Amino acid sequence: MHDLIAITALGASEPQVETIGGITCTEVANLALASVAARLGGEAACRERLASLVGTVPAAGKAELTGPFSAKWVGPDQWMVGVEYEVQNDIAAHVKAALGNTASVTEQTDAWSAFDLSGQRINRVLELLCNINLSSVGAGSAARTSIHHLSCFVICRVPNANVRILGPRASATSLHSAITTAMRSVR
């Protein structure tokens, strides 16, 4: 039996938390992810089953964040489903069992790193990081955009106060550096 020590995307044993100028960036190390792509002809059935798993199937540019299983729209007939490890750490198998042959499901957990950005007027940070139209971002908005030349998702829970940024895990340190640099810049 291997005795391995789990590390976070930033390489530490505990998630990194940084507070600069009233804005906090928290590494999220317990997020399991799986992508869902509805199969041709199974789109309606996939939506029905996905709705029973996550609540409401998010429309284009939106995320569903109410239940233990979250979902965000990533493209036409494609979504990303997320859940905390403590609830379900074999997410792909769980989602596949729920969706059956209506969709193709791919494990994404170790492909992404996640950072929660919270505090007062965090749009000051986001506007330095990406070119999302922040005035149109509301609770439950999810946008894919470029941050620091990395393809990232920006998911809004509370406008101007709480967003989650997902970026490629292999570039987690670069993304974290970009976020904290922007945080220092708006102090």
* 131 near other proteins (CB under 8 A): yes
Tokens of 185: 């810049």
Single out the residue of 1, 13, 76, 187 in contact with other proteins (rule: CB under 8 A).
76
148 φ, ψ (degrees, to nearest 5): 55, 35
Q: Is 75 an interacting residue with respect to other proteins (CB under 8 A)? A: yes
Nearest CB to other proteins, comparing residues 149 and 187: 149
For residue 11, give every residue at least 6 positions away whose Cβ sits within 8 Å of its Cβ, in sequence order, or none: 173
What is the size of the binding site for other proteins (CB under 8 A)? 15
Q: Which value, to the nearest 10 degrees, does the dihedral of the CA atoms of residues 160, 166, 171, 173 take?
A: 50
Binding part of the chain for other proteins, among 5-13, 24-32, 67-75, 173-181 by CB under 8 A, reads 67-75
The whole-angstrom separation of Cα 83 and Cα 111 is 15
Q: Can you tell me whether residue 127 is helix, strand or coil?
A: helix
- Sketch the per residue contact string, 18 through 47, with other proteins: x for CB under 8 A, - otherwise: ----------------------x-------
Residues in contact with other proteins by CB under 8 A are 40, 60-61, 73-76, 131, 133, 136, 143-146, 151
